[in-house]
Homo-oligomer: A and B are copies of this chain.
Amino acid sequence: MLGIDDSPFTRKDEKVLVVGVVWRSSLVEGVLSTYVERDGFDSTEKLLRMIKKSKFYSQIRLIVMHGVTLAGFNIVDIKKLSEALSIPVIGVTKRKPRAREVRNALKNFADWKRRVELIDSSGKACKFGNVYAQLAGIGVADVGRFLSSFEGMPEPVRLAHIIGSGIVRGESHGRI
């Protein structure tokens, strides 16, 4: 499994660190990283590149992201990502994604239509235990089975979060 999350950033940062944790048999097998533009459009492409060129590519059976956006509103096209890699992708959050609030925030961008289309294509979030997930390339039953093996956020996503904030801020902060 590959767990993915972004790192803390400020309005001054143009590029934001994204961390991937390769997880096998309850151990960290490797760490991947890339940079994406804050509020940009390159996240899908950057993740594709990061994963395709990795020696771990062939062993990754599932990609689990923290939500479906990185670095602000750099929205990941999880369908495209899943199809291009032939790997299921799920975006997991603890809080229910608030579609209306996201739409309103997106309207601050000149190119909001493109962003709304992207976010809509990731589908509605379904509730699984105490988390919410958006899915691509995988069915609800399989996701339910997978998520039930973790208490809340899957461990490699939690680790990607801790690593990103520990590297960028000098010490990890916050829970996801």
Copies of this chain assembled into the complex: 2
Residues 25-43 of A, flagged 1 when their CB comes within 8 A of B and 0 if not, give: 0001011111000000000
The A interface, classified by DSSP as helix, strand, loop or mixed, is mixed
Contact among B50, B163, B165 with A170 in the assembled complex (CB-CB below 8 Å): B50
Q: Is A135 an interface residue (CB 8 A)?
A: no
CB within 8 Å of B: which A122-176 residues: 159, 162-163, 165-167, 170-172
Q: How many residues of A contact B (CB 8 A)?
A: 23
Q: Is A108 an interface residue (CB 8 A)?
A: no
Whether B30 contacts A170 by the Cβ 8 Å rule is no
Nearest 7 pairs of A and B residues by beta carbon: A31-B166, A30-B172, A31-B172, A33-B167, A31-B162, A31-B163, A32-B171
